[in-house]
Chain A
Amino acid sequence: MTSEHWRPSAPIDNLRRRAEILGRIRSFFAHRDVMEVDTQQLSHRAVSDPFIDSIEAQFRPTPESPAQSLYLQTSPEYAMKRLLAAGAGAIYQLGKVFRNGEVGGRHNPEFTMLEWYRPGLDDFALMDEVEALVAAVLPGFAPERLSYRTLFERELGIDPHRASLTQLQAVCRNHLDADFEDDSRDTWLNLLMSHVIEPRLEGGVFVHDFPASQSALARVREDATGTRVAARFELFIDGMEIANGYHELTDSAEQARRLEADQRCRSELGLPQRPLETRLVASLEAGLPECAGVALGVDRLVMLALGTRSIRDVIAFPFDLA
C-alpha cells in the first residue's frame, strides 16, 4: 500500500469524457422518446442463469434480527419486463449491475449497463438502433452483420449447429490447450467463440441467429435453412463483447420452463439454488408486448471511445480500490 492508494485509477480527464458519453446516451433516448427508468438494484429474487452469480446482501428488519438474503441485480431485465407488461412502452435504464467473481482486464464486479426495450421491434430492427447509438459515441461506426453459423464457417470451417460434441472438442484442442472434459456442446462453442473467434474480430460485428441452446430469454425461430435458432444477437467491437440483444420471449409457459431448466442445471453443477423470479412469468402471462431488448456494457463502450483496453482507465475506483 502506498500513500497514493486513495487515488482513482482513471485520470479525471477520462472521467470527464465518460460523463460526456453518458450525457450523449441520455439525449439519444430523449430524442427518440424512450423513457428512462430506474428499477431496484436489490431484489428478493435472483437471476436464474447458471453462469451468472448474484452477490447476496443480508437484510435485517433490526440489527439483531436474523438475516434474510436479498440479491444485487445482475441486470435490470426482469424488472424492466414487468414494467413493459404494465404498459410502460419504450424504456431504457442506465445504471449499475453486479456480478459475483467477475474481476479482470475487461471485468469489474460492479459495472454500468445500458439496457433498453422497444415494443414493436424485432432483433434486426433493434440492431439498427444499437448501431445508431454506438455511432453517436464512436463516429464512423459501421459494423458488419453475420450469422453465428456464417462466422463459424468462415473462421473455423464448421457448422456450429450440426457439429458433434467430439468435433467441437477436436477443433478446440487444435487451437487451444484446454484439456478439461465437458459434455456440453455450448461450453466448447463458447470456448471457440471467446478464445479463437473473438480475438480475430476487427471493427464492429453483429453476430445473430445464435444456437437455440443459447437462447437465454430470446424467442426461438427457424432460419432460412430450417434450423432452430435463437432470435439473439451480440455486438463485438475490436474483439470485445459489447452488447447482447433478443427478440424477447413472450410465452409465459416457455419462460417458466426455462427458469426451471436453469434451476435444474444449477443443481447438477452444484451451484446455489436461488429464488426464481416467478413475477416475470406472471407478467408474461398478463401480456408482455412483442418487443426487442438489448443490454450494452457502457464501461467497455467508454474504453473504445478512449482507446484503452483496461476497464481501470474508465472507472474511478475499480474493485481493489473500491
Chain B
Amino acid sequence: MANYSANQFKNGLKIMLDGDPCTMTDVEFVKPGKGQAFTRVKMRNLITGRTWEKTFKSNESAEGADVMDRDMEFLYFDGEMWHFMEPASFEQYAADKNAVGDSHQWLKEQDRCMITLWNDNPISVTPPNFVELEVTETDPGLKGDTAQGGSKPATLSTGAVVRVPLFVEVGDVLRIDTRTGEYVSRA
C-alpha cells in the first residue's frame, strides 16, 4: 500500500497502526505561529472499535491500509458465520462474530449491508439504517390505547428486543432505526 505523509491526511483515510487498520474521523492542522506544525487526528481502530486522538509531526508518514467498503446482500447464518454476496460479481464472503458484532440482530436475509473488507476479509458489517422485521413475541396489544405514551418490549424475528408502543401485536412488521435500535413505525 501507499505511504501517506501527515499533510495528506484527511477524514476517511485508512492507515495501519500497530498492525491494525484504523480510520481517520477528524483531522486538524495545529500550528503555533512560531514552531513546528502538527497534525492531530481522531482515529478509530477498525478491529477493536477503540477511538482516540493521535498527534503526528508534519514530516511523519503512515502506511495506508487496504480497506474498502462494499455493498453486499446478506445470504444466511450457518450457526457460526454470516454469509454475504456481492450482487454484481456473485462473490461470497463469510464474516465471523467479531466482524458482525451487534449488527447480527438487524440482519435479515436479502437485505443490503455495507461490509468493510481489510485485505479482502470482512472486518465489520453495517446494516441498512432502517430494517423491517416481524414481531415474534410480545404481550397482547391493548386496544384503544393508541394515543397513550406507554411502551413494552417486543422480540423480533432476528432475536432483537426493542421497545414498542402498546398497540403492537405479534405478526406486525415494524420499521426499526438500526443506528439507535429504536422503533420507528409499523411497516
Interface residues of A (CB under 8 A from B): 49, 51-52, 101-105, 107, 176-178, 180, 182, 186-187, 190-191, 193-195, 214, 216, 234, 241, 244, 295, 297
A101 touching B35 in the complex, CB below 8 Å, given contacts A180-B60, A182-B57: no
Q: Which residues of A contact B186 (CB under 8 A)?
A: none
Kindly report which residue of chain B lies nearest to residue A242, judged by CB atoms. Answer: B33
Chain A minimum-CB-distance residue to B57: A180
Residue contact B40 to A195, C-beta cutoff 8 Å: yes
Question: What residues of A have a CB within 8 angstroms of the CB of B53 in the complex?
Answer: 176-177
Sample (16) of A-B pairs whose CB atoms are under 8 Å apart: A49-B34, A102-B29, A102-B31, A102-B37, A104-B30, A104-B31, A177-B53, A178-B54, A178-B56, A182-B57, A191-B36, A191-B38, A194-B38, A216-B34, A241-B32, A295-B33
Q: Give the distance in Å from the alpha carbon of A176 to the alpha carbon of B52 in the complex.
A: 10
Provide the B43-74 mask, 1 if CB < 8 A to any CB of A, else 0: 00000000011111110100000000000000
Known A-B contacts A177-B55, A178-B55; A186 and B40 likewise in contact (beta carbons under 8 Å): no
Contact B33 A244 (CB under 8 A): yes
Q: Which residues of A contact B40 (CB under 8 A)?
A: 195
From A51, A176, A216, A295, give the contact of B55 (CB < 8 A).
Answer: A176
Complex Cα distance, B10 from A103, in Å, reads: 12
Which residues of chain B have C-beta atoms less than 8 A from A195's C-beta? 30, 38, 40, 55
Contact B35 A186 (CB under 8 A): yes
Whole-angstrom distance between the alpha carbons of A103 and B53 in the complex? 20
CA–CA, A169 to B32, complex, Å? 18
Q: How far is the CB of B97 from chain A (nearest CB, A)?
A: 29
CB pair B32–A193 under 8 Å, yes or no, is yes
Cα(A107)–Cα(B58), bound, Å: 15
Residues of chain A within 8 A of B57, CB atoms compared: 180, 182, 187
Flag whether B182 is at the interface (Cβ < 8 A).
no
B residues within 8 Å of A by Cβ?
Answer: 7, 28-38, 40, 52-58, 60
Residues on the A chain within 8 Å of B28, using CB: 104-105
- When C-beta atoms are compared, the residue in chain A nearest to B55 turns out to be A178
- Contact across chains for B29 and A107 when beta carbons are under 8 A apart: yes
Q: Per a CB cutoff under 8 Å, which of B29, B33, B60 touches A104? A: B29
Q: How far is the CA of A4 from the CA of B54 in the complex (A)?
A: 35
Q: Which residues of A contact B34 (CB under 8 A)?
A: 49, 51-52, 214, 216, 244
Q: Which residues of A contact B7 (CB under 8 A)?
A: 101
Closest to A243 in B: B33
| Bound CA–CA A101/B57 (angstroms) | 14
For the complex formed, measure the closest distance between the CB of A168 and the CB atoms of chain B, giving whole angstroms.
14
Q: Which residues of B contact A107 (CB under 8 A)?
A: 29, 31
- When distances are taken between beta carbons in the complex, the residues of chain A under 8 Å from B54 are 177-178
Q: B35, A190: Cβ atoms under 8 Å?
A: yes
| A103/B29 contact (C-beta < 8 A), A51-B36, A195-B40 known | yes
A177-B29 contact in complex given A51-B34, A190-B36, C-beta closer than 8 Å: no
A186: chain B residues at CB < 8 Å are 35
- In Å, the complex CA distance between A214 and B35 comes to 8
Of all chain B residues, which has the CB nearest A179? B54
Q: How far is the CB of B127 from chain A (nearest CB, A)?
A: 30
For residue A194, which residues in chain B have a CB less than 8 angstroms away from its CB?
Answer: 30-32, 35, 38
Residues on the A chain within 8 Å of B31, using CB: 51, 102, 104, 107, 194
Quick one: which of B29, B33, B52, B55 contacts A191, CB cutoff 8 A? B55
B37 near A101: Cβ-Cβ < 8 Å = yes
Instruction: Given A182-B57, A214-B35, output 19 extra A-B contacts at Cβ < 8 Å.
Output: A51-B37, A52-B34, A101-B7, A101-B58, A102-B29, A102-B37, A105-B28, A176-B53, A187-B57, A191-B36, A194-B30, A195-B30, A195-B38, A195-B40, A216-B34, A241-B32, A241-B33, A244-B34, A295-B33
